[in-house]
Chains A and B, each alone.
Chain A
């Protein structure tokens, strides 16, 4: 009996190993089913999801206008103090003073990409962009001013 059990054990063990080997052998010969992506070489064809949260950007239209009113709702919503808004007063053609942003300072190195600032924005001035290659040699390059130089607020946004 002992010998029989021993042989059965050996047979079961070897067959379980061969069963696994057959599976790995299948993928060894069917290389089309392998889904590995060669990342740095496939940059041209790499497509990220539309909603991918890579960094905060401020979209500008063709007249170099944005929709940020400088209400600091994003600054208050941010858990890490990533956003700092410096406001100034513009003189409108009618001679009135109007609040506008001077600089929208965004510090990418402190950002956790939680999307709370975009959700808090009442005028859809900022959004998340699917950029993910953020590495630079100098840390100060990660502090960005999002409003472009010379840009102004779009007409009709309060």
Chain B
């Protein structure tokens, strides 16, 4: 046991200003993965945060250079595994753009529904994990109850629960399950009943509010200059929804609002995600009864060859803007591929917004950034 005098004696040896360096992670339960933060502290106040990456680097970009345009899509499910459908859509859209393939209307609508279901599943998991970071254990189970319904829909239609690989260039791998529509409608009904439970449990809770309000404030100028996107930037009042700015698939046919909050703190980021789930439900409701009949996949050649040139496609994942950039030399494999992942830019802002706050607030700030480490490292 240390007594008071010994602790004071120790701090003199820590550095010129009595700084303490704490390694948070790579195996810390609150970092949701192998994120390693080197936190420099002065007492309890954060002076500097340095993220160390590379623990889950799998060189996905280099791997994709040796895979054909049909094969490289499955790898992207392993990047941001919570929005794997959306990653797959981005790659499929890029190949379609590069080869100028027409996609059947049915495939477009089904893709949009599945993308929105993925977004809800991702936000559900985030709410549970975020509440658990702040000490509330129960919302985790409530959130997983609704998420389980989505994973069952995915299991029926796509055959997998997390890494689906259902979307192929020019359409879908196989047709939707006969019970897809009834199950999605059952989910919408259940979700609308149960979403008030989160409000009761988490949103109105005084402990949650006092731990998130005014914590980790990000100004709109900083959000733009750090390249933030998704709910993180929208909570600061920056309009950056790719579904509105550059509509893809069936997003130009549906009505939905882009959720923008202006406070920029952790609570605003929480509210953006909760409201976004309701908007996703609104999109699904408009499309679920109007899935057009017809082919689910267009006719393509057996071997896909992109035209010579450079192609860029961006989509809105649950975390922000995902960009796929491909340089093609006209062959069957990409010459160079680059993914612009939303998590990487959102992590870079952590040092800026958590600087000067207490170490307990770091949990709330980091939790609301919604970091998925395989997305950052790739």
Residues of A within 8 A of B (CB): 12-13, 16-17, 19-20, 22-24, 35, 48-53, 77, 79, 112-116, 119, 128
The 5 A-B residue pairs with the shortest CB-CB distance in the complex, in nearest-first order: A13-B206, A51-B159, A79-B71, A114-B74, A53-B159
Q: In this assembly, does B160 line the interface, its C-beta being within 8 Å of a C-beta of chain A? A: yes
Q: B168, B177, B205: which contacts A20 (Cβ < 8 A)?
A: B205
Q: A23, A51, A79, A112: which contacts B158 (Cβ < 8 A)?
A: A51
Is B197 a contact partner of A23 (Cβ separation < 8 A)? yes
Is A115 a contact partner of B201 (Cβ separation < 8 A)? no
CA gap between A52 and B152 in the complex, in Å: 10
Residues of B contacting A20 in the complex (Cβ-Cβ under 8 angstroms): 138, 200-202, 204-205
Residues of B within 8 A of A (CB): 67, 70-72, 74-75, 138, 145, 148, 152, 155-160, 163, 165, 168, 173-174, 177, 197, 200-202, 204-207
Residues of B contacting A49 in the complex (Cβ-Cβ under 8 angstroms): 152, 155-156, 159
Is B145 a contact partner of A35 (Cβ separation < 8 A)? yes
Is B74 a contact partner of A116 (Cβ separation < 8 A)? yes
Is A77 a contact partner of B71 (Cβ separation < 8 A)? yes
CB distance from B69 to the nearest CB of A (A): 11
Is A24 a contact partner of B71 (Cβ separation < 8 A)? no
Q: B71, B155, B200: which contacts A19 (Cβ < 8 A)?
A: B200
Is A51 a contact partner of B71 (Cβ separation < 8 A)? no
CA gap between A39 and B141 in the complex, in Å: 17
Is A12 a contact partner of B206 (Cβ separation < 8 A)? yes
Is A52 a contact partner of B71 (Cβ separation < 8 A)? no
15 A-B contacts (beta carbon < 8 Å): A16-B206, A17-B207, A20-B200, A20-B201, A20-B202, A23-B201, A49-B152, A53-B159, A53-B160, A79-B71, A79-B72, A79-B74, A112-B74, A116-B71, A128-B159
Residues of A contacting B197 in the complex (Cβ-Cβ under 8 angstroms): 23
